[in-house]
Amino acid sequence: MFEAVTSQIRSFFPNRDFIPLHEPKFIGREKEYLAATIDSTFVSSVGKFVDRFEEMMRDYTGTGHAVATVNGTAALHAALVVAGVTAGDEVITQPLTFVATANAISYCGAQPVFLDVDCDTMGLSPDALRAFLEEHTEQSGNSCRNKTTGRRIRACVPMHTFGHPCRIEEIADLCRTHNLFLIEDAAESLGSTRVGKQTGTFGTLGVYSFNGNKTITCGGGGAIVTNDKTLAAHAKHLTTTAKKPHPYLYEHDEVGFNYRMPNLNAALACAQLENLDRFLADKRELAELYRNFFSTQPAIDFVAEPEGTRANHWLNTILLTDRPTRDLFLAETNEAGIQTRPAWTLLNRLKIYGHCRTDGLVNATWLAERIVNIPSSVRL
């Protein structure tokens, strides 16, 4: 049924028996930097490449500070902690996201609240956020409280799904009005912009992931960015086991985390970041090829970047007409050696988060039954 699709995808990735969903490309100075790290003997969380990577992330995102972490989940957990999220709090997020978003909230002893997404961005809907805040919350001093549970709602964590920026400036306005700490989960969207501004920089804190399947990777890695000097210093302190500076004594003044990025990973990250713009240009070209092809295919819609945004096209996405058609597409393409996948199971449908508050999630449910991610690797 989908022979034309499989044939077209194979033409975009010629001479491949198996076409993965997203594989890394190492075309720069990765081996050189890794060798330099090994020669230096600084292969753990102290080394020049960790410092260099933080400088490069500051420069690329245009923020004042960056803190390198061992992975994106660690970055999000640390960001929530420095934002003051504590046990018993609630944190608003979306159900259409990787489980790490909710897990990081749970690590703090807080409860996720899952609100609906927009169909065009697939990210947290400011309309859903506004409706929930107006109906279910009240201001108590400088904090926002859930009128039903009585709990403080400390933060909001929208995620830029598959690299498409959500309507983050509207979300930021709502967070300011309702005294919510905005932490952007930009794990998938490094290089994406909305109204000309990098995702991850609209909130007080932004977090990124450099897992093996991301646009750039260092095997495992993450980063926190912020313009707040105090929060950045606290994040670096916490992610380095909260050890007080001293030439030889080991004293710790908080319960910290061993979350710093190793120098080996940072060496890879620096080399990858040097080629990010080249990767983004190549991925944009592929997205345009897909968009043109799927415009001729009935009953398949290609998810294009909404007006005012520029996506990194981390994972190109199509929408099928219904779940049975989606499942047939997944079966045929994977059997043909073309890796495709559906969206994640909505987090409120997981047993571990089934008790969490939602707003009905009409759009998220509709999307989850139709989304398919298709091969999106850099082809250089």
Which CATH number fits the domain that encloses residue 94? 3.40.640.10
Q: 90 near 146, Cβ under 8 Å?
A: yes
For residues 124 and 166, membership in a common domain is answered with: yes
For residues 213 and 306, membership in a common domain is answered with: no
Grouping H, G, I as helix, E, B as strand and the rest as coil, residue 224 is strand
For residues 214 and 363, membership in a common domain is answered with: no
375 pLDDT band, cuts 50/70/90, is: very high
Residue 335 lies in a domain: yes
263 pLDDT band, cuts 50/70/90, is: very high
Which CATH number covers residue 8?
A: 3.90.1150.10
Residue 196 lies in a domain: yes
For residues 79 and 138, membership in a common domain is answered with: yes
> Which residues neighbour 75 within 8 Å (Cβ) at sequence distance 6 or greater?
67, 69, 207, 208, 209, 222, 223, 224, 259
45 pLDDT band, cuts 50/70/90, is: confident
For the chain, the straight-line distance linking the first and the last C-alpha, in angstroms and rounded, comes to 30
Query: What are the tens digits of pLDDT across the range 187-227?
Result: 999 999 999 999 999 999 999 999 999 999 999 999 999 99
Domain boundary among 226, 246, 274: 274
Q: Of 315, 61, 373, which Cα lies nearest the Cα of 208?
A: 61
pLDDT of residue 86: 98
How far from chain centre, in Å, is Cα 337? 27
Residue 115 lies in a domain: yes
| Average of per-residue pLDDT across 350-378 | 98
Query: What are the tens digits of pLDDT across the range 268-301?
Result: 999 999 999 999 999 999 999 999 999 999 999 9
CB atoms within 10 A of CB 237: 20
| Average of per-residue pLDDT across 95-102 | 98
Dihedral (CA of 160, 164, 167, 168) sign:
positive
Buried (b) or exposed (e) across 13-33, using 16+ Cβ within 10 A? Answer: eeeeeebebbebbeebbbeeb
Query: What are the residues facing 159 on neighbouring strands?
Result: 185
Query: What are the tens digits of pLDDT across the range 164-196?
Result: 999 999 999 999 999 999 999 999 999 999 999
Residue 332 lies in a domain: yes
| Cα maximum dimension of the chain | 68
| Average of per-residue pLDDT across 103-128 | 98
Q: 311 near 358, Cβ under 8 Å?
A: no
For residues 292 and 329, membership in a common domain is answered with: yes
Residue 105 lies in a domain: yes
Distances (CA, A) of 328 to 1, 325, 337, 340: 9, 5, 15, 11
Q: State the DSSP code for 358.
A: B
For residues 225 and 286, membership in a common domain is answered with: no
For helices 263-274 and 48-61, angle between their N-to-C axes, nearest 10 degrees: 40
For residues 166 and 281, membership in a common domain is answered with: no
Place of tokens 């994406």: 192
Six-digit token pair at 12? 């975009």
For residues 142 and 239, membership in a common domain is answered with: yes
Q: 375 near 13, Cβ under 8 Å?
A: yes
Whether pLDDT at 70 is above 90: yes
Residue 379 lies in a domain: no
What is the secondary structure of 12-64 as a DSSP string?
A: HSTT-SSB-S------SSHHHHHHHHHHHT--SS-SHHHHHHHHHHHHHHT-S
Q: Which amino acid, 108?
A: C
pLDDT of residue 58: 98
* Rounded CA separation 176/74 (Å): 25
* Rounded CA separation 239/71 (Å): 11
For residues 120 and 180, membership in a common domain is answered with: yes
E strands within the chain? Answer: 65-69, 90-93, 111-114, 137-140, 143-146, 152-156, 181-185, 193-194, 197-198, 205-209, 222-226, 300-302, 309-310, 316-320, 341-342, 371-374
Q: Of 195, 172, 203, 221, which Cα lies nearest the Cα of 57?
A: 221
* Rounded CA separation 125/116 (Å): 6
| Average of per-residue pLDDT across 37-58 | 95
Rg value, the chain, Cα: 21
Dihedral (CA of 301, 162, 59, 174) sign:
positive
Per the structure, the complete domain to which residue 72 belongs is given by: 30-274
Six-digit token pair at 70? 């061992």
* Rounded CA separation 208/73 (Å): 9
Percentage of the chain modeled with pLDDT above 90: 98
Residue 380 lies in a domain: no
Domain boundary among 241, 274, 307: 274
For residues 49 and 123, membership in a common domain is answered with: yes
How many structural domains does the chain have? 2
* Rounded CA separation 117/306 (Å): 14
Residue 163 lies in a domain: yes
Domain boundary among 231, 258, 274: 274
Percentage of the chain modeled with pLDDT above 70: 100
Query: What are the residues facing 205 on neighbouring strands?
Result: 183
For residues 281 and 270, membership in a common domain is answered with: no
For residues 62 and 22, membership in a common domain is answered with: no
Grouping H, G, I as helix, E, B as strand and the rest as coil, residue 361 is coil
- pLDDT mean across residues, the chain: 97
